[in-house]
Amino acid sequence: MTNQQQSKAEWHKILNERFSGTPREAARYYGIEILPRLMPCLEKNKQSCKVCNQHFMDMDNMTVHAPEWMKKNDPQIERFQQLMEEIGKHLKSAHGIMPRGMILSRFVAVGLLAGALAGLVISFTNKAGDIAGSAMLGAVVGIFVAWIAGKIRENSLRKAQKLF
């Protein structure tokens, strides 16, 4: 690659060329849909972080060979997946950067559980006859509130450039 940073759109184009002919199912299974957002993030941080620089070079090299590995079910594809996990952990711990949608999904899962439990508690304390209905209503309210809270949190992180 050049010394000039590529935009997300340019990375999307580059990765589309590299992964052309790769079955869509394989692309989803191996999680490559995150690469057009991940590569610019690594590229942006590689000047100030040696680990990001190494991860960027490794991932850039691996994306050239990964389509062949996917088609042949080569064991190298496991290293590719491990590297993507390592990068995610590094970005989160060292830079406080998380993938878009991660926080929202966590908020919604917690909201679902909290809402259902709140519905059950209310149902038992009021001696209401419809326990299942109370739990379902609580779950819906919990999801709704958590979705709004998750979106607000992700917007604040996006403004702080802590999402990729």
- At 87-110, the pLDDT tens digits run 999 999 999 898 888 899 999 999
Q: Name the pLDDT band for 2 (thresholds 50, 70, 90).
A: very low
Residue 58, C-beta contacts closer than 8 angstroms, at least 6 positions apart: 83
Answer whether residue 141 is part of any domain.
yes
- Sign of the CA dihedral running 72, 76, 78, 82: negative
Can you give the pLDDT at residue 74?
82
Answer whether residue 164 is part of any domain.
no
Q: In this structure, are 76 and 154 located in the same domain? A: no
Single pTM value for the model: 0.72
Tens digit of each residue's pLDDT (9 = 90 or more) over 149-161: 999 999 999 999 8
From 47, 80, 95, the end of a domain falls on 95
Q: In this structure, are 108 and 82 located in the same domain? A: no
Answer whether residue 50 is part of any domain.
yes
Range of the domain at 88: 8-95
Q: In this structure, are 52 and 74 located in the same domain? A: yes
